[in-house]
Chains A and B, each alone.
Chain A
Amino acid sequence: MMISLGRTVAALSLALFLFSGHSWSIAAEGAITAPPISSIEQALGQVASEDESVRSAAIRLLIEQGDVSLVPRLEEMRANASRSIRQAIKPLMDLLKNRAKLASPDSDVRRSAATDLGSSGNPSVIPWLDAARVNESNKWVRYTMEESVTLLKLASDDPSIIAAAAEKLGELGSQNGVPVLKQLVAAGAVAEATEQQKTVAMAAAAAIVRIESWGAWSNAIETLFRGISLSSILLIMSLGLAIVFGLMGVINMAHGELMMVGAYATFVTQQFFTAWFPSDMFDWYFPVALPVAFLAAAGSGFLLEATVIRFLYGRPLETMLATWGVSLVLMQAARVYFGDLTAVVAPGPLRGGMQVLVGVYLPYNRIFIIALSIICVLGIYFALFKSNLGLRVRAVTQNRNMSACLGIPTRKVDSYTFAFGSGLAGIAGWALTMVGNVDPGLGQNYIVDAFMVVVTGGVGKLAGTIVASLGIGGLNKLIEPSFGAVYGKVFILVMVILFLQWRPSGLFAMKGRNAD
């Protein structure tokens, strides 16, 4: 919303001066034929002149030669100037400020300054941008500078320059350029349009097509990324759930609240760091919180298994209800103890994001979750297939009675596995603090989706859970744009039910006799 509003404003201001023929400023080339250079001091004195032509000349000169050191003095002049003069000085100040920002050490600041200059509609700043671009190290800041320069060139009087700029914008895939390009196309379409305008319009139309086709691509890539990111959230949440479901045939309805335990463990660790460690150590709270969250949730899970689930073996529906009861208690306990809403501040390296392509911006926290889900899958794979406990877990999953006969302590396997699955919930909670608030309802947000992942994936195979998370997460993001979030969910439910028509016990089902 905000961005598009900004774009419109920029486009409007640009259009205004394009079509009114106002000579408030001249194209960059015009600088050569400018009146003889008077000193900056003189210009400063004329800036407040009541005579408009004098004033504009002064402003022009200041833009060409001034720098940010003039701002305090301009500020001073504004304070006791008339309204029209204030209005005249303001853009000048903004331009000078942004020029200073172009040298900022923060690439985001540089970039937004470049964007602002691009939308100022004042071609005389083009040299600033060109100069800054030469020394710019960040690819995307360079991109923005070039985009701004090109945008400003659209204000040129020379049709060939405009056409070249339009083409360049198309090459850059610049979404910011679209409104102005549309203006150019419109100008070329009217009956009294000159030949030159028509040529420009053609170039602009071609550029629009190019930009839009790239826009569709970048949208698709972002959608894909969002889908994968949601999928990995679901996957991280479902892994522990699925392992326990495979082993014991129970869905732990308190899984979401074990995630909540992990999230609060992270929160508490953060508070601890704020209270006891120097602030430059703050970022370390996050890695430290990982084992804390894992152990807190695993411990809670262990207790839950020992006090409730153990007594309900072989009654999966009762287990669901009892664990739901536990989830209510945990949720309310968190609400009473922590209050309703707390937030974990992301550690420095996870803030912000990176741009990979034009119009494709990937936040670090999402990338982190995707990476984490891959690590979890690999970790679980090794735990299940390379460790002693894993071997036992797989044995019990396949045939509990046989395993018991072979002397595998199935009770202990249950207990440890449940604790492990709960620990995974803790890790999920730890990770979720990066994408949302920590509140008592945290576990509820995606948990029903996670349950669906588990039943769709079926039991006993990690691959089922992975495929199901990718399917449900991906589908969710894929159809959200066209159906909206609500009917997207309806659609997913329908899809899952239809899928279960085909595979009633999920993607990977226990076959044959063990299934009943």
Chain B
Amino acid sequence: MSDGTADKNRSGGMAFWAVGAILLVVMPLLNILPPEDSWFHLSDFSLNRFGKFLAFGILALGLDLIWGYTGILSLGQGVFFGLGAYCMGMHLMLTIGKESVYGTEMPDFMVWNQVKELPLFWKPFYSFPVAVIGSILVPMAFALVFGFFAFRSRIKGVYFAIITQALALVAWLVFNRNDTNLGGTNGLTDFKQVIGYRLSEPSTQLVLYIITVLCLGASYLFCQWIIRSRAGRVLVAVRDSEKRVVFSGYTPANYKLFVFVVAAALAGLAGMLYAPQVGIITPAQIGVLPSLEMVIWVAVGGRASLAGAVLGAVSVNYGRSVLTNYFPELWPFILGGLFVLVVLLFPDGLIGMMRKAKSLLSRSKPDGGKPVVPAEKAAVLEGKR
């Protein structure tokens, strides 16, 4: 909009394109060009893993919208992620076809559970477009219904957090105990191909990675567009003082519902990208604990900063994947410690620290508002009269 911010936007924009170029061009090239034993070589495994983290980044963007900007703590984002992932997973299951262990058209776990006929809700997922659209629309529809009732009755704050946590628990139970229709604890796995491309081929995974980067970029721009619109400021206003928002003539419930549904869509998109890259989706990704971990991604990266959300998702997951490898017993301590530390000491997360470091470096030019000068203000008032 006006003055001051434009400058910041421009530098933010440059960073966006720079990071985009690294993710989209440099990383794939490092994967393709250098020989395998070279120092610069990025293994297929690493690239694939990174793609998974970036998918989580998309989810974090949505969570940041709802928690960071609007101040609504949703502890049920894992549910929407899971819905997206299961929608895609169902499609991938169906395309396994005769390659399955039992060699039938039906998914293996159904054969195992002696299901004779494919359940009705599986059938549309033969179609790839249905799976893609479904993995976004299903979570959205779900969030719409749930959010409608929650926000309509002004459930907020701690109450909303608890209710969404209960949602996560219930969803986990439903998926976990549904052996015949959803594969139970083992979830959906053993995927072979996606629209004819073998998932085991590095080239397929490379393309999936690139699609993930593009989706992340688009999601980022979309969220930024929301934040910079007047609606985005209403969201921040809701976080600040919901009462005032009502008396400014807005209906906070509608804005909350909107942002909840957007966050669900982004979580679903993340799930959709996750399934083929990781090759398995189980209820373990849905429940209470994973949903809470998602919140910590955003907290670590920096709330109310889109870049922070992505940064947090990538760094926490990277940390997790390295640490669980070397010190599996240590990870829960670190994760728990992170929760406490970030909340207590670094409420603005990594991005906040980076900003602080930057302002320390360029101390000469302090930013923020002009100092308050009562005399000046009084003079202005006088002039008006």
Q: Which residues of A contact B (CB under 8 A)?
A: 245, 249-251, 308, 311-312, 316-318, 320-322, 324-329, 331-333, 335-336, 444, 448, 451-452, 454-455, 485-487, 489-490, 493, 496-498, 500-502, 504-506, 516
* 8 A Cβ contacts from B126-159 to A: 146, 149-150, 152-159
11 interchain pairs, CB-CB under 8 A: A251-B162, A321-B295, A321-B343, A325-B338, A326-B339, A448-B166, A455-B162, A486-B174, A490-B170, A493-B170, A500-B159
Is B296's CB within 8 Å of the partner chain A?
Answer: yes
Q: Is the CB of A308 within 8 A of B340?
A: yes
Q: Is the CB of B162 within 8 A of A322?
A: no
Q: How far is the CA of A485 from the CA of B336 in the complex (A)?
A: 31
| Contact partners of B6 in chain A: CB under 8 A | none
Q: Is the CB of B343 within 8 A of A501?
A: no
**Which of B71, B73, B149, B161 gathers most chain A CB within 10 Å?**
B161
Chain A nearest CB from B295 CB (Å) reads: 6
Q: Is the CB of B243 within 8 A of A516?
A: yes
Q: Is the CB of B166 within 8 A of A500?
A: no
Task: Check A328/B336 contact, CB under 8 A, given A317-B157, A500-B155, A516-B243.
Answer: yes
Q: How far is the CA of A489 from the CA of B347 in the complex (A)?
A: 35
Chain B nearest CB from A491 CB (Å) reads: 9
Minimal Cβ-Cβ distance residue in A for B159: A455
The proximity string for B residues 158-192 relative to A, scoring 1 for CB distances below 8 Å and 0 otherwise, is: 11011101110110011001100000000000000
* 8 A Cβ contacts from B95-125 to A: none
Q: Is the CB of A328 within 8 A of B154?
A: no
Q: Is the CB of A325 within 8 A of B169?
A: no
Is B13's CB within 8 Å of the partner chain A?
Answer: no
Q: Is the CB of A321 within 8 A of B332?
A: no
Task: Check A486/B73 contact, CB under 8 A, given A251-B158, A448-B288, A455-B163.
Answer: no
Q: Is the CB of A496 within 8 A of B154?
A: no
Q: How far is the CA of A502 from the CA of B295 in the complex (A)?
A: 29
Is B12's CB within 8 Å of the partner chain A?
Answer: no
**Which of A250, A328, A448, A497 gathers most chain B CB within 10 Å?**
A328
Q: Is the CB of A451 within 8 A of B152?
A: no
Chain A nearest CB from B159 CB (Å) reads: 5
Q: How far is the CA of A505 from the CA of B154 in the complex (A)?
A: 9
Q: Which of A321, A490, A498, A502 contacts B296 (CB 8 A)?
A: A321
Q: How far is the CA of A448 from the CA of B172 in the complex (A)?
A: 13
Q: How far is the CA of A316 from the CA of B155 in the complex (A)?
A: 15
Q: Is the CB of B158 within 8 A of A316?
A: yes
Q: Is the CB of A249 within 8 A of B158?
A: yes
**Which of A245, A318, A324 gathers most chain B CB within 10 Å?**
A324
Q: How far is the CA of A329 from the CA of B162 in the complex (A)?
A: 21
Chain A nearest CB from B24 CB (Å) reads: 33
| Contact partners of A489 in chain B: CB under 8 A | 169-170, 173
| Contact partners of A497 in chain B: CB under 8 A | 146, 149-150, 155, 163
Q: Is the CB of A308 within 8 A of B344?
A: yes
Minimal Cβ-Cβ distance residue in A for B71: A317
Q: Which of B150, B156, B336 contacts A329 (CB 8 A)?
A: B336
| Contact partners of A444 in chain B: CB under 8 A | 288
Q: Which residues of B contact A (CB under 8 A)?
A: 71, 73, 146, 149-150, 152-159, 161-163, 165-167, 169-170, 173-174, 177-178, 243, 288, 292, 295-296, 299, 329, 332-333, 335-340, 343-344, 347
Q: Which of A249, A308, A331, A504 contacts B154 (CB 8 A)?
A: A504
Q: Is the CB of A486 within 8 A of B177?
A: yes
Q: How far is the CA of A177 from the CA of B252 in the complex (A)?
A: 64
Q: Which of B158, B243, B344 contacts A455 (CB 8 A)?
A: B158
Q: Which of A249, A325, A500, A505 contacts B339 (CB 8 A)?
A: A325
Task: Check A332/B158 contact, CB under 8 A, given A489-B170, A497-B163, A504-B153.
Answer: no
Q: How far is the CA of A486 from the CA of B176 in the complex (A)?
A: 9
Q: How far is the CA of A489 from the CA of B170 in the complex (A)?
A: 6
| Contact partners of B157 in chain A: CB under 8 A | 316-317
Chain B nearest CB from A303 CB (Å) reads: 13
Chain A nearest CB from B195 CB (Å) reads: 34
Chain A nearest CB from B1 CB (Å) reads: 29
Q: How far is the CA of A312 from the CA of B364 in the complex (A)?
A: 33
Chain B nearest CB from A488 CB (Å) reads: 10
| Contact partners of B344 in chain A: CB under 8 A | 308, 311-312, 322
Minimal Cβ-Cβ distance residue in B for A327: B336
Q: How far is the CA of A444 from the CA of B288 in the complex (A)?
A: 10
Q: Is the CB of B154 within 8 A of A320?
A: no
Q: How far is the CA of A444 from the CA of B165 in the complex (A)?
A: 12
Q: Is the CB of B155 within 8 A of A325?
A: no
Q: Is the CB of A498 within 8 A of B149?
A: yes
Q: Which of A250, A326, A454 contacts B336 (CB 8 A)?
A: A326
Task: Check A325/B343 contact, CB under 8 A, given A251-B158, A317-B157, A498-B149.
Answer: yes
Minimal Cβ-Cβ distance residue in B for A450: B162
Q: How far is the CA of A514 from the CA of B152 in the complex (A)?
A: 21
Minimal Cβ-Cβ distance residue in A for B73: A317
Given known contacts A325-B337, A506-B159, what 18 new A-B pairs fall within 8 Å (CB)? A251-B161, A320-B161, A321-B73, A324-B292, A324-B336, A329-B333, A329-B337, A332-B332, A332-B333, A335-B332, A448-B166, A452-B166, A486-B178, A490-B170, A493-B163, A493-B167, A500-B155, A504-B156
Minimal Cβ-Cβ distance residue in A for B347: A318
Q: Is the CB of B73 within 8 A of A496?
A: no
Minimal Cβ-Cβ distance residue in B for A444: B288
Q: Is the CB of B332 within 8 A of A328?
A: yes
Q: How far is the CA of A249 from the CA of B158 in the complex (A)?
A: 8
Minimal Cβ-Cβ distance residue in A for B150: A497
| Contact partners of B329 in chain A: CB under 8 A | 332, 336
Q: How far is the CA of A516 from the CA of B174 in the complex (A)?
A: 35
**Which of B146, B299, B339 gathers most chain A CB within 10 Å?**
B339
| Contact partners of B339 in chain A: CB under 8 A | 321-322, 324-326, 328
Q: Is the CB of B166 within 8 A of A451?
A: yes
Q: How far is the CA of A316 from the CA of B73 in the complex (A)?
A: 10
| Contact partners of B338 in chain A: CB under 8 A | 325
| Contact partners of B166 in chain A: CB under 8 A | 448, 451-452, 493, 496
Q: How far is the CA of A454 from the CA of B178 in the complex (A)?
A: 29
| Contact partners of A326 in chain B: CB under 8 A | 336, 339-340
Task: Check A504/B177 contact, CB under 8 A, given A321-B295, A493-B170.
Answer: no
Task: Check A504/B337 contact, CB under 8 A, given A328-B332, A486-B174.
Answer: no
Q: Is the CB of B169 within 8 A of A448?
A: yes
Q: How far is the CA of A400 from the CA of B382 in the complex (A)?
A: 41
Task: Check A320/B73 contact, CB under 8 A, given A448-B169, A448-B288, A496-B166.
Answer: yes
Q: Which of B154, B155, B299 contacts A321 (CB 8 A)?
A: B299
Q: How far is the CA of A455 from the CA of B163 in the complex (A)?
A: 9
Q: Is the CB of A501 within 8 A of B163?
A: no
Q: Is the CB of A451 within 8 A of B162?
A: yes
5 nearest CB pairs, A to B: A325-B339, A328-B336, A332-B332, A329-B336, A501-B153
| Contact partners of B150 in chain A: CB under 8 A | 497, 500
Minimal Cβ-Cβ distance residue in B for A336: B329
Q: How far is the CA of A339 from the CA of B286 in the complex (A)?
A: 26
| Contact partners of A487 in chain B: CB under 8 A | 174
Q: How far is the CA of A250 from the CA of B296 in the complex (A)?
A: 18
Q: How far is the CA of A485 from the CA of B173 in the complex (A)?
A: 9
**Which of B73, B154, B338, B344 gathers most chain A CB within 10 Å?**
B344
| Contact partners of B158 in chain A: CB under 8 A | 245, 249-251, 316-317, 320, 455
Q: Is the CB of A501 within 8 A of B152?
A: yes
Chain A nearest CB from B324 CB (Å) reads: 12
Minimal Cβ-Cβ distance residue in A for B345: A311
| Contact partners of A496 in chain B: CB under 8 A | 163, 166
Q: How far is the CA of A487 from the CA of B299 in the complex (A)?
A: 33
Q: How far is the CA of A454 from the CA of B167 in the complex (A)?
A: 16
Q: How far is the CA of A131 from the CA of B343 in the complex (A)?
A: 75
| Contact partners of A502 in chain B: CB under 8 A | 153
Chain B nearest CB from A233 CB (Å) reads: 17
| Contact partners of B173 in chain A: CB under 8 A | 485-486, 489-490
